[in-house]
Chain A
C-alpha cells in the first residue's frame, strides 16, 4: 500500500473508546482522501437529519494521498462534518503540518464521534492514543492552547484546536492548527466545541511510502519547475501574499465595498499586499512541502492595534477592509490576529460586521443594540472592537458570532446578508465577474470562492483569457474548476499549485505515489463524483434550485462606481446551462444516468 497508510482511527468521545480499522482502499481509489473520502465517510455514517451540534454528528480529519510527500505544496488536510452554519457537508481545508503528521502517525483519517462529558483533548502518538482532560486548557486562545497542550504532550506535536469561539458554538467558528493555519469555513469549530473537544495533538514518526520513487521524483521535479516559473506561483504570492489581489480586483471593479453597496473602493491600495509587504510583513512562510510560501508573518507596531501573528489573506483583508469601508491595514491585520487567536472565520465575521454596519446606517439597529458603539462604515476602532466582541462572545458580539444571515434575519432584513446558502460570499463581486457569481450560487458549501475559482481565468488570465463581464462559457468554466478542485482537494494539494500545474501533473504524481493509474479524465471524474455526492447531500437537506441563488442586491442593484459601474450579475443566463452541462435536470437534480456514470447510484 502506497500513499495511503491503510489505517483509519476512530475515537468515540461518549464511550471513551479508540479503535482502528482498515481504510477502505477501493473507496480511496474512487475518492482519494481528504474532502472526497471524508465526505463519503460522513454520508455513509451521519443521517441527513442529524443536528450538526449533536453527538450524532461526526468530525473527520482527513489528509490526502499526496499529503506527507514532497509533491509541491501538497501537504493539506480537510475537516469534514455536517456544517452548523448551513447543514452542508463542511469540508474546510487547511495547510500547515498537521495533515502530514497524522499520516506519519499512521492514519488516513481520524473520525471523531459522540461527545465527551467534560472538556478533553486527544493525544495521538503513533499508535498510542489517549483522551485527556482539558479542563486547564478550556477557555484559552489558540496559540496558548497549542503551547499548553505541547507542554503536556510533546514539544514538536502538531496541534489543531478551537478557541473561545468554538467553545461558544459560534456557527462561524474555525479550527486552527500550528497557531496560524485555519480550517476556516462553515463552522467546523463549533462541532468540535459541541463535542467538548478542545484540541488534537499529533506526533508521528512513521513514513509515507511511494509506489514508484523514480517516477514520482521526476513528476515532482517537473511540477516544481512549472510552479516556480509561473509569475503568480513562483514569484507573486511569495512577494505579496494573496492580498496582492486587492488592487487587481479593485482595478477590475469587483472589490465588494460597504457590504456590496459598491464594487470599487478608491483607497483600496492601502489595504493591499504591496502595502502589507512595505509595513506589516516580517517574512514569508510556507506550509509543509510548500514551494510557494504565500504565508505572511506579520506584526503591527501601532500601539492601538499592536500584535504579532500571521496574515491577513486577501479575503480577510477585504472583509475587514473594503467591505467595512476601511482602509487601515494595521487595524485589519489586528482584526485578523484576533480571529486566529479566538478561532473564528475571518471572511464570515468581516462580512457580518459589514452587514451590521449597513443595518446601523439604515437605522434598523442603533447604538442601543451595539453596546453604545457607532457602528458606521469606515469606523476603524468600531470594527476592531466588534471583532473582539464577536471573538469573545460579549454583548452584541454574541449576535455577530452567529454570522450575517442569522443576524440580518433576526432584525427582519435577511436581504442585507451577503450570503449564499447562509454562508458569506467572499471578496469577488459577481456583478463585475459573472462566472464567480454562478460559482457562489451553485457552490455546495454556499458562498465560497476556493471550490470554483473562476477568478483564475476571468481575472488573473492563468492559462486562458475570458472577459469577466460576459456570461458565455462561464457554466463550463465553473464546472471545470469545481471538478478540478474536488479532486485536487482530495489529493491533498493546495489550490495555489494550479498557478503552474494542472490535472495532468497532479494525476501523474498521484499515480506514481499510489501505484493506481490515474488519467487526467479519471482525475477529473473523481472531482465530478465528489461534487455530485455533495449535491445529493444538499438535496437531502432540503436545498432546491431556489437556493442556487445570489443575494438579490447582486442581481438588481448595479455597481455604482469604478470600472464595472452599472453592472449586475446575470445568473439566470448561466444557471440553466450549468444544470444541463452537469447532467442535472432543470431543477438541479442529478439524473439517474449521471449518477450511474459516476458510480453514485
Chain B
C-alpha cells in the first residue's frame, strides 16, 4: 500500500504551520526557508496554496541525478529519497524538477526536497485545516470526489 501526500488548497488558510513543522522536524528550529513545503499566499485574493514534492513515478530529479543520490526509495513505497552521502551537490535535480520542489541550501549544504519525514509527514500532523493529507493511493481523491458527489446528491434530491 502506497501513501500519497495530497494538497487541498481550498482548505488552506495560509498559516504556514506546515512550513514550521517541516523545518522543526529537519532542523529542530524554525526556519521556514528550510521547509520542504511552502504555502504561498496571494494577499489580494486571500488565497493560499501549499506546494511540495509530488514524489513523481517518472521523476525528472532522479533521471538527471548523476550519482544515484536522488533515487526511488526501496523501503517506502511512493518516495523519492535523497542520499546525502552520495550526493555531490551538482544541483541538477533542482534544475530538473518542473515544479521547483527541490532546492539547494547553501547554509546546510543540502538538497531540500520533501522526504515525507520517512512516511510520517509532520506538515500533515500540524496542518490545522486538513489542507494536507497523507492517504492511501486508493483513497487519494476520495474526500474530494465524495464532496462533489454530495453536491450532486443534493441537486438530485431537490428535483426528485
| Interface residues, chain A, with chain B CB atoms under 8 Å away | 68-70, 72, 97, 100, 104, 143, 146, 178-180, 205-210, 213, 217, 224, 228, 282-291, 293, 295, 297, 308-310
Contacts and interface: CB of A to CB of B under 8 A. Distances in A.
Given A143-B44, A207-B30, A224-B128, A293 B15 contact: yes
B86 to A, nearest CB: 27
Contact of B128 (A178, A285, A291): A291
Interface in B11-38: 13-17, 20-21, 23-24, 27-34
A285 B46 contact: yes
A501 B16 CA distance: 21
Given A70-B30, A100-B32, A297-B47, 17 more contacts: A70-B20, A104-B33, A179-B43, A207-B23, A207-B30, A209-B29, A210-B24, A210-B30, A213-B24, A213-B28, A213-B29, A283-B10, A284-B13, A285-B48, A286-B129, A289-B15, A290-B128
Interface of B: 10, 13-17, 20-21, 23-24, 27-34, 41, 43-48, 126, 128-129
Contacts of A213: 24, 28-29
Contacts of A179: 43-44
Contacts of B129: 286, 293
Nearest to B128: A291
Nearest to A287: B15
A68 B23 CA distance: 12
B43 A178 contact: yes
Contact of A228 (B32, B43, B128): B128
A68 B28 CA distance: 13
B24 A285 contact: no
A285 B14 contact: yes
A213 B32 CA distance: 16
6 contacts: A208-B29, A210-B30, A285-B46, A286-B129, A308-B44, A309-B46
Given A70-B126, A206-B31, A217-B24, A146 B16 contact: no
Contacts of A224: 128
A419 B29 CA distance: 45
Contacts of A100: 32
Contacts of B21: 70
A282 B33 CA distance: 29
A104 B28 contact: no
Contact of B31 (A104, A217, A283, A285): A104
B31 A207 contact: yes
A5 to B, nearest CB: 11
Contacts of A146: 43
Contacts of A287: 15
Contacts of B24: 70, 210, 213, 217
Contacts of B32: 100, 104
B27 A207 contact: yes
Contact of A286 (B15, B27, B28, B31): B15
Contacts of A72: 128
Contact of B43 (A180, A217, A284, A293): A180
A203 B119 CA distance: 32
A289 B28 contact: no
Contacts of A285: 13-14, 46, 48
B30 A69 contact: yes
Contacts of B13: 283-286, 290, 293, 295
B46 A291 contact: no
| Chain B CB within 10 A, most for which of A68, A69, A180, A207 | A207
B34 A207 contact: yes
Contacts of A208: 29-31
A218 B101 CA distance: 30
B58 to A, nearest CB: 31
Contacts of B10: 283
A566 B48 CA distance: 49
A70 B17 contact: yes
A293 B30 CA distance: 21
A394 B34 CA distance: 48
Nearest to A290: B15
B154 to A, nearest CB: 17
The 4 A-B residue pairs with the shortest CB-CB distance, nearest first, are A297-B46, A207-B31, A286-B15, A286-B13
Contacts of B44: 143, 179, 308
Q: Which of B27, B41, B46 has the most CB of A within 10 A?
A: B46
B128 A205 contact: no
Contact of A288 (B15, B23, B29, B46): B15
A297 B14 CA distance: 12
Contacts of B33: 104, 205-206
A552 B41 CA distance: 47
Nearest to A288: B16
Nearest to B15: A286
Nearest to B24: A70
Given A143-B44, A146-B43, A282-B46, A289 B31 contact: no
A280 B27 CA distance: 41
B100 to A, nearest CB: 13
Contacts of B30: 68-70, 207-210
A179 B46 CA distance: 10
B17 to A, nearest CB: 6
A145 B68 CA distance: 47
B46 A283 contact: yes
A178 to B, nearest CB: 6
A297 to B, nearest CB: 3
A97 B46 contact: no
A111 to B, nearest CB: 24
Most B CB contacts (10 A, CB to CB) among A143, A146, A290 go to: A290
B17 A291 contact: yes
A193 to B, nearest CB: 22
Contact of B15 (A143, A283, A291, A310): A291
B29 A207 contact: yes
Contact of A97 (B16, B23, B47): B16
Nearest to B21: A70
Taking each of A100, A143, A297, which has the highest tally of chain B beta carbons within 10 Å of its own beta carbon? A297
Nearest to A180: B43
Contacts of B41: 178
B29 A310 contact: no
Contacts of A282: 46
A210 B16 contact: no
A110 B17 CA distance: 25
A52 to B, nearest CB: 30
